[in-house]
Structure 1
Amino acid sequence: MPARALNGLESLENFVKTVKSGKSDFTQTVTSPARTGEAPRVKNSSGTFEFQRPGKFKFQYKKPFEQLILADGTSLWIYDADLNQASQRKQSSAFANTPAALIASATDLSALRNEFTLENAPEKDGLVWVSAKPKSADSTLQTVRIGFKGEALQQLDITDSFGQRSLINFATMQLNPSLPASSFQFTLPKGAELLKQ
């Protein structure tokens, strides 16, 4: 008898318990709500993504603009190559009820349930889904949907409180690769301006 396929919550639980690091290329499509008489605005970008539990991740955007979003366990860094500007924030205050917390910080579902209401969502596009709604009233997120193919994270579908939707597709994600510590260290490029937040 074939093994029963996992539902979304079971896939998420397996992911947070057994996947300690990951690496993937990604594409992101951001759709802003339509203004009166205008079509919705759509922006596409792509790059690479790496994470390591607990609390380290790196989104390296390559197209159409170079940008780095890096969490090193203490600080959240955002670096814009075109402006040659970086900003630094305390990770703990910037991180709690964000999609990054779902991927990179929690080590079990009970930790996630402190921040999010989690529910299985209907299967779609060959993926099993979990819907995560932040419990915090002042969250900038409305909902995050997390799509899995088996144990592999495949998609994040994020809607913020302004109705903007971000769809992140991960190409084949490598699970538990060995990542060097330098992957999650930020060095301010020469001549770059640092904005403290």
Structure 2
Amino acid sequence: MPISRRHALSALFGIALSLSGAAHADGLDALNQFIKQTRSGRAQFTQVVTSPPKAGQAARSKTSSGSFEFHRPGKSRFDYRKPFVQTLVADGQTLWMHDVDLNQVTARNQAQVLGSTPVALLTAASDLESLKIDFQFKAEADRDGLQWVRATPKTSDTQIQSVLVGLRASDKGIELAVLDVQDALGQRSVLNFTAFELNPALPASIFVFKAPAGADVIRP
């Protein structure tokens, strides 16, 4: 898999899932309401991954886009459509990564791959206190019409350095607007979400993955 795609995947799953609920005093309150009230979500996303600049060179960025869905506990799906077609499905047991161009599927134990990342914790946690076992949270100042929360892992052996979450109040609740992820290697991934749906009825088949006929299936 090209390194730019690996960066996109690690940034994506170092990150995480989404926030929704009702308007509140700050980002921490909104996050707490999301965990308690939001069972599922769906949105469109645009992701910009920026790699650290090399000596004498400017930083390089790569943009991709697609759709995102999740359902508690521990199920999520990212469908990349541009500039390449790729699917990532976490079905509660296995994380499946399907690269259409390479006709290759990678299957990993979900708990081992996602166990300490925001995407896993936010879809499995029942309250904010359980998240605080692994992360420190800090409400950031409001800006750009959004409420912000910064999550920092308590241990240093993760790929993620910090996650900045931007939340937007709407007439239906609080929607996920931005995920800004900084990884341990200095790479930054910013996901902007649009058309966010709170608690949609998602069919179970969305989170079932079957390898296409003829695809190489790799189980590291």
**2:124 corresponds to:** 105
Q: Counterpart of 2:98 in structure 1: which amino acid?
A: Y
Local SS of the residue matching 2:53: coil
Moved over 4 A (4+): none
**1:31 corresponds to:** 50
CA distance in 1: counterparts of 2:216 and 2:101, whole angstroms: 12
Local SS of the residue matching 1:39: coil
Indicate conservation of the 8 Å contact 1:159/1:165, yes or no.
yes
Local SS of the residue matching 2:81: strand
Residues 134-143 or 46-55, more deviating? 134-143
**1:160 corresponds to:** 183
Q: Quick check: 1:72 aligned with 2:91?
A: yes
CA distance in 2: counterparts of 1:132 and 1:125, whole angstroms: 19
Q: Quick check: 1:94 aligned with 2:113?
A: yes
Local SS of the residue matching 1:94: helix
Local SS of the residue matching 1:188: coil
TM-superposed deviation, 1:40? 0.4
Indicate conservation of the 8 Å contact 1:119/1:131, yes or no.
yes
- Given the two structures, how large is their TM-score scaled by the length of structure 2? 0.85
CA distance in 1: counterparts of 2:88 and 2:122, whole angstroms: 14
CA distance in 1: counterparts of 2:166 and 2:98, whole angstroms: 28
Q: Counterpart of 1:60 in structure 2: which amino acid?
A: D
Name which of 180, 196, 209 aligns with 1:173: 196
Local SS of the residue matching 1:172: strand
Name which of 11, 17, 27 aligns with 2:30: 11
Local SS of the residue matching 1:173: strand
**Structure 1 gap ranges (5+):** none
User: How many pairs does the alignment contain?
Assistant: 194
CA distance in 2: counterparts of 1:101 and 1:131, whole angstroms: 17
Indicate conservation of the 8 Å contact 1:65/1:82, yes or no.
yes
Query: 1:60-95 deviations in whole A, cap 9, x for unaligned?
Result: 000000111110001111110000111111111111
**1:138 corresponds to:** 157
**Structure 2 gap ranges (5+):** 1-22
Query: 1:140-180 deviations in whole A, cap 9, x for unaligned?
Result: 11000111112111110000000100000110210000000
Q: Quick check: 1:147 aligned with 2:166?
A: yes
**1:187 corresponds to:** 210
Query: 1:83-113 deviations in whole A, cap 9, x for unaligned?
Result: 0111111111111222312542222111211
Indicate conservation of the 8 Å contact 2:27/2:139, yes or no.
yes
Local SS of the residue matching 1:114: coil
CA distance in 2: counterparts of 1:17 and 1:45, whole angstroms: 31
Q: Counterpart of 2:160 in structure 1: which amino acid?
A: L
- Given the two structures, how large is their TM-score scaled by the length of structure 1? 0.95
